Amino acid sequence: MSTPTEVIVATQSEARPGAAVATTFPILVMLSFCHLLNDMIQSLLPAIYPLLKSEFALDFGQIGLITLTFQITASLLQPMVGMFTDRHPKPWSLAFGMGSTLIGLLLLSRAPSFPVLLMAAALIGTGSAVFHPESSRIARLASGGRHGLAQSIFQVGGNIGSASGPLLAAFIIMPRGQASIAWFALAAMIAILVLGRIGRWYQLQIPNLARPAMRAAGRAAYTRRQVTIAIGVLGVLIFSKYFYLASLSSYYTFYLMHRFSLGAQSAQVHLFIFLAAVAAGTLIGGPVGDRIGRRYVIWASILGVLPFTLMLPHANLLWTTVLTVVIGLVLASAFAAILVFAQELVPGRTGMISGLFFGFAFGMGGIGAAVLGQLADHIGIEAVYRICAWLPAIGLLAWFLPRKQDSNQIKVP
């Protein structure tokens, strides 16, 4: 039971379910822009793996370990950050988290050894752990009740950043070497300034926020058993989605270079095309979920991508490009719907749920990268893609998600 001094931040629409609250688009756009800068910086790490592999004589297992260090740092800290800030809002935490990313970026540009690379990855992961749950909370606060739309606007910035990182790495870092990574410190500095502005807005909202009245309604609409099963199913779907995405985001360039004899820059361009498709899919998924129901979006996006993943390992270069675009569009539409579905299962715990799901997604990506890297060393990268093609079949579990959300038995203004 909550103590009298406990501060739980909820959205204004949660605090007053019948109130009409306008969507604060300037804040959402600034959050999306900072998400772009944050994830652009983060995506530089896997994008420069070919450079690091050559520079430090790394094998696939060590490359997977770098990703694991980054992802596990982020995944372990995110739920704890979310739980803490549910009770103790920290408007300036976003700027401080980006400061950790800035230090990690500068360290990465000067790292003389593999252990220092791991340290830099951990610092960047720490910045991500602070950024994602708090930004997701503020996006919900600024949504005016249009939660799927707000999450999509927020997340598409991250996807655009993830897509642009490999392209920038291909044409800036790869030709100039490791030291040129430091040029991207300017992006982190700009993000710190914008996040300071967002923090001031957030600070002004805190005194006006009430304890979420929606929590009682949420418990009445969903039984404890339904919530437990639904969270478990959503977690397994996150595993399916991000384990598969790890095979593309971390090893797609190596796959193209090995199977089709592409050069590193050309392979990076193909990775950019895939990640751009992911960004477009993210923007589509949230608003569609607001209109037709998030359960349907989750079902279609995970299971619906299965025919395309099964064809991918057998396609030529042209069809590989086409199939990865379709896979990116369809698969990426799931996350906004999954996150908002989970937030509405447990009202009033936006930070904890956001941290849990962002953290779990990062963790699955990291574990996937490490496992698939070891597997690629033993059976080859093409065999890895044939195995991973079956992961979206796990989307069948979406059948067990409760249907109350789609029948509007929970009213979200």
pLDDT tens digit string along 140-186? Answer: 888 877 778 888 888 888 878 877 887 788 788 888 888 888 899 99
Cα–Cα distances in Å, from 57 out to 48, 50, 267, 383? 13, 10, 20, 23
pLDDT tens digit string along 73-120? Answer: 877 787 787 778 777 777 888 898 999 999 999 999 888 888 999 999
Six token digits for residue 379: 């059976």
H helices of 88-213, in order, are 93-110, 114-141, 147-168, 174-176, 185-205
Cα separation, 73 vs 90, whole angstroms: 20
Q: What is the dihedral of CA 377, 163, 387, 320, to 10 degrees?
A: -110
Does residue 190 surpass a pLDDT of 80? Answer: yes
| Interior/surface letters 88-98, b for 16+ CB within 10 angstroms, e for the rest | ebbbebbbebb
Six token digits for residue 303: 């299971």
Cα separation, 373 vs 66, whole angstroms: 11
How many helices (H) does the chain have, and how many strands (E)? 19, 0
pLDDT band, residue 58 (cuts 50/70/90): confident
Cα separation, 166 vs 143, whole angstroms: 31
Lowest mean pLDDT among 9-18, 312-321, 363-372: 9-18
Six token digits for residue 255: 């796959």
What are the residue boundaries of the structural domains of the chain, listed by start?
23-400
pLDDT tens digit string along 191-222? Answer: 999 999 998 998 887 776 554 444 444 444 66
Q: Are 215 and 347 in contact (CB under 8 A)?
A: yes
| Mean pLDDT over each residue of the chain, to the nearest integer | 79
To the nearest 10 degrees (0 to 180), the angle between helices 350-379 and 334-345 is 140
Q: Which residue has the tokens 């406990």?
A: 6
Cα separation, 296 vs 412, whole angstroms: 17
DSSP class of residue 232 equals: H
Six token digits for residue 293: 């129901």
Q: Are 98 and 38 in contact (CB under 8 A)?
A: yes
To the nearest 10 degrees (0 to 180), the angle between helices 49-56 and 252-260 is 80
- Residue 312 CB-density burial (10 A; 0-12 exposed, 13-18 middle, 19+ buried): buried
Cα separation, 377 vs 384, whole angstroms: 10
DSSP class of residue 57 equals: T
Q: Which residue has the tokens 């979406």?
A: 398
How many C-beta atoms lie closer than 10 Å to residue 380's C-beta?
A: 13
Q: What is the CATH number of domain 23-400?
A: 1.20.1250.20
Give this prediction's pTM. 0.69
How many C-beta atoms lie closer than 10 Å to residue 189's C-beta?
A: 13
pLDDT tens digit string along 315-341? Answer: 999 999 999 999 988 888 777 788 888
